[in-house]
Structure 1
Amino acid sequence: MQVVDPHIHLWDLKTHHYPWLANPQTSFVGDARALQHDYLIGDFLRDAGDIEVLKLVHVDANHDPADPVEETRWLQGIADGEGRGMPNGIVAYADLSGDNAEALLEAHAAFSNTRGIRQILNVHENPHYDYGGRHFMHEAAWRRNFGLLKRHSMSFDMQLYPSQMNDAAALAREHHDTQFIVNHAGMFVDRSSVEGYRAWRDGMRALAACENVAVKISGLAMFDHAWTVESFRPYVLETIDAFGCERAMFASNFPVDRLFGSYGALWRAYAEIVADATDSEKAALFRRNAERIYRI
């Protein structure tokens, strides 16, 4: 099977600082203590096994927020050396609420493989799921600096919960000339009620109504640790139904999702779910959309 993987993470604990791995905790995404080891390009390719990864995109790995450009510099060095072009795309971190946001974007943009920015937006009333307690999309400085992405031809990887999707759709309409990519199929967190399901379904369709918004079907195992093909199926098919095969793409979220299954098992599950799609649709979901949307 050939894939383009648009969502992976690498880290080198010997040379870089990742606060969440320096003091790993157990959370809804699993036990981070099991990830407290180097994860380099060679480790990823070994995990890939018989899945042929043609290209990949690295998404910020919650590197030291005091020096986010160092992560981009390190990744570009890998791409220019042992990675032989990989990671082909880099989604870097920048705090768009900060006074130095413009300088950070300029510094990231200096590296040839930089394609976009991710700043995690997840806010939840349950502290177990809350990432930072700030509604960045409601902050004037953050919204003002968000407009700088277009100047550098950068996309925005949008990690959020269903309760935030209407605000995100409004942001996407305001910045119709910026590419948005929803991470992890919208992180359907409130699974225990009909209301929670409707919030996810309706929020995803609100985002999909914006032509500049795409979605990565990834990270499903973070909320479904004992997953099966059948437990994944409704989320995969509903996401594809909302966005269409032309704006959805599969991704691994490795090595985080390695806590709950192998690389090959994950991709083969995706393949089984869309087995009756056309060859063109499969090519789009597994390869072409990632190449086009991330310009790799």
Structure 2
Amino acid sequence: MTSQAASAGNYLAVRPDWLARGVEAALDPELPIIDAHHHLWDRPNWRYLFDEYRADIDASGHHVTASVFMQCQAMYRSDGPAAMRVVGETEFVNGVGAMSASGHYGPRRLCAGIVGHADLRLGDAVAPVLEAHIAAAPGRFRGIRHITVWDADRSLMNPLSAGPPGLLGDGAFRAGFARLAPLGLVFDAWLFHPQIGELTELARAFPQTTIVLDHLGGIVGIGAYRDRRDDIFAEWSRAIRALARCENVCIKLGGLGMRINGFGFETRDVPPPSAVLAAAWRPYIELCIEAFGTQRCMFESNFPVDKGSYGYGSVWNAFKRLTRHASTSDRMNLFSGTAARVYALALPG
């Protein structure tokens, strides 16, 4: 099997033969999981759609009951008004959600929640786009992600989604952002850790809007941030604690297998076992849980992006190792309850 290439070097290549050397049996296989963040796409040399995602879940042995799809510029419309083309992604994913809900593929409710994209810089004019998303996936569309990643080190950024500096404080962006809460929509934030303070200011300005910080706040460990892990941890910790004081903010625990994190898992001869992942991630995960509490934390796979660093089964085993001594109620929050509540998932029972 050949590795799957990633465009522009922004993602680590997926190597099935390498991943096959690190398969683990699922720990606590009955624990219900809602995967709070994954993608589906069909890109050159990289196909990850419903069947591929299901195959990863099935092979893992974990009890994934539902999932939340996160925008990734997949299946946009090829024509029509430019601002509306993003609705094509929601239409596509809603079809996947309907397939899963049919029961034909088992009891899981994959893509039970959908987070799409709209250009919030449109200000008040973004309202029709938001309404079109909701109409395209009634009962499933739950929020918007407008990526605001920026850093002076341009090598860190994906050119497909890099934002200008200071976007979270931009007046037009904030006018569009103000349209989310009245429609009951969540805002997912993807940025780098030096930008967390900007998100804190936004959260304070809009206390009625639910904000979810993706990937523990984008901890960078390469480029200009290489070999500064202790200093960066201290900076990140202070920013996370300040953000956690905003009660309208939740955080996703995961997304630490990306190129930007610089952990180097992909350089090992064999995929890192879950015990190694848990040891590397423990300081970050434990600080977030301490700061936010389990009712505002949720685990995510970030697949297939993180698949270049470890297998689907291993990442969930790592999370289970990290919460081995947590109470039953805390574990339920972390693995399913917070995601179900924040994204208002309509699930059986």
> Which TM-score bucket, shorter chain as reference?
0.7 to 0.9
Shift of residue 4, structure 1, vs aligned partner: 0.5
The equivalent residue for 1:257 is: 306
Shift of residue 102, structure 1, vs aligned partner: 1.9
The equivalent residue for 1:27 is: none
Give 1:109's aligned amino acid.
Answer: I
The answer as to 2:63 corresponding to 1:52 is: yes
What is the aligned length? 275
Supply the distance in 1 between the matched residues of 2:129 and 2:70 (Cα, whole angstroms): 16
Supply the distance in 2 between the matched residues of 1:125 and 1:277 (Cα, whole angstroms): 40
Residue 120 of structure 1 is aligned with which of 136, 142, 147?
Answer: 147
The answer as to 2:62 corresponding to 1:38 is: no
Supply the distance in 1 between the matched residues of 2:99 and 2:50 (Cα, whole angstroms): 11
Asked if the contact 1:109–1:152 (Cα under 8 Å) also holds between the matched residues in 2, the reply is no
SS in structure 2 of the partner of residue 268 of structure 1: helix
Asked if the contact 2:253–2:299 (Cα under 8 Å) also holds between the matched residues in 1, the reply is yes
Asked if the contact 2:73–2:89 (Cα under 8 Å) also holds between the matched residues in 1, the reply is no
Supply the distance in 2 between the matched residues of 1:156 and 1:41 (Cα, whole angstroms): 24
Shift of residue 191, structure 1, vs aligned partner: 6.0
Asked if the contact 1:41–1:83 (Cα under 8 Å) also holds between the matched residues in 2, the reply is no
Supply the distance in 1 between the matched residues of 2:100 and 2:206 (Cα, whole angstroms): 37
Asked if the contact 1:92–1:118 (Cα under 8 Å) also holds between the matched residues in 2, the reply is yes
Gaps of 5+ in 1: 14-20, 23-35
The equivalent residue for 1:212 is: 248
Shift of residue 253, structure 1, vs aligned partner: 0.3
Asked if the contact 2:149–2:192 (Cα under 8 Å) also holds between the matched residues in 1, the reply is yes
Asked if the contact 1:182–1:213 (Cα under 8 Å) also holds between the matched residues in 2, the reply is yes
Supply the distance in 2 between the matched residues of 1:38 and 1:162 (Cα, whole angstroms): 30
Q: Which moves more between the two structures, 118-127 or 83-92?
A: 83-92
The answer as to 2:343 corresponding to 1:294 is: yes
The equivalent residue for 1:154 is: 185
The answer as to 2:111 corresponding to 1:87 is: yes
Give 1:232's aligned amino acid.
Answer: W
The equivalent residue for 1:30 is: none
Shift of residue 82, structure 1, vs aligned partner: 4.4
Task: Give me the CA root mean square deviation.
Answer: 1.7
The equivalent residue for 1:25 is: none
Q: Structure 1, residues 133-160: CA drift from partner, whole Å, max 9, x if none?
A: 3421131111111100012110000111
Supply the distance in 1 between the matched residues of 2:168 and 2:200 (Cα, whole angstroms): 11
Supply the distance in 2 between the matched residues of 1:103 and 1:255 (Cα, whole angstroms): 31
Structure 1 moving runs of 4+ over 4 Å: none
Supply the distance in 1 between the matched residues of 2:282 and 2:100 (Cα, whole angstroms): 37
Give 2:128's aligned amino acid.
Answer: A
Supply the distance in 1 between the matched residues of 2:142 and 2:100 (Cα, whole angstroms): 20
Asked if the contact 1:4–1:290 (Cα under 8 Å) also holds between the matched residues in 2, the reply is yes
Q: Please report the TM-score for the alignment, with normalisation by the length of structure 2.
A: 0.75
Query: Identity over the aligned pairs, expressed in percent?
Result: 32
Supply the distance in 2 between the matched residues of 1:264 and 1:83 (Cα, whole angstroms): 23
Q: Which moves more between the two structures, 80-89 or 276-285?
A: 80-89
Give 2:70's aligned amino acid.
Answer: V
Q: Structure 1, residues 60-106: CA drift from partner, whole Å, max 9, x if none?
A: 01334941100001111121224544310000011101364222111
Matches within 5 A, 1:70-149: 70-82=88-100, 84=102, 85-98=109-122, 100-110=125-135, 111-112=137-138, 113-130=140-157, 131-149=162-180
The answer as to 2:195 corresponding to 1:164 is: yes
Shift of residue 210, structure 1, vs aligned partner: 0.5
The equivalent residue for 1:180 is: 211
SS in structure 2 of the partner of residue 88 of structure 1: strand
SS in structure 1 of the partner of residue 283 of structure 2: helix
Gaps of 5+ in 2: 1-28, 103-108, 266-271
Asked if the contact 2:148–2:164 (Cα under 8 Å) also holds between the matched residues in 1, the reply is no
Larger radius of gyration: 2
SS in structure 1 of the partner of residue 307 of structure 2: helix
The equivalent residue for 2:16 is: none
Q: Please report the TM-score for the alignment, with normalisation by the length of structure 1.
A: 0.88
Asked if the contact 2:151–2:165 (Cα under 8 Å) also holds between the matched residues in 1, the reply is no
Q: Structure 1, residues 203-245: CA drift from partner, whole Å, max 9, x if none?
A: 1111110001000001111122416221111111111111111
The equivalent residue for 1:192 is: 227
SS in structure 1 of the partner of residue 180 of structure 2: helix
Supply the distance in 2 between the matched residues of 1:211 and 1:166 (Cα, whole angstroms): 15
Residues 95 and 279 of structure 1, relative CA distance in 2, 3 Å threshold: same
Residue 5 of structure 1 is aligned with which of 17, 35, 58?
Answer: 35
Supply the distance in 2 between the matched residues of 1:243 and 1:206 (Cα, whole angstroms): 10
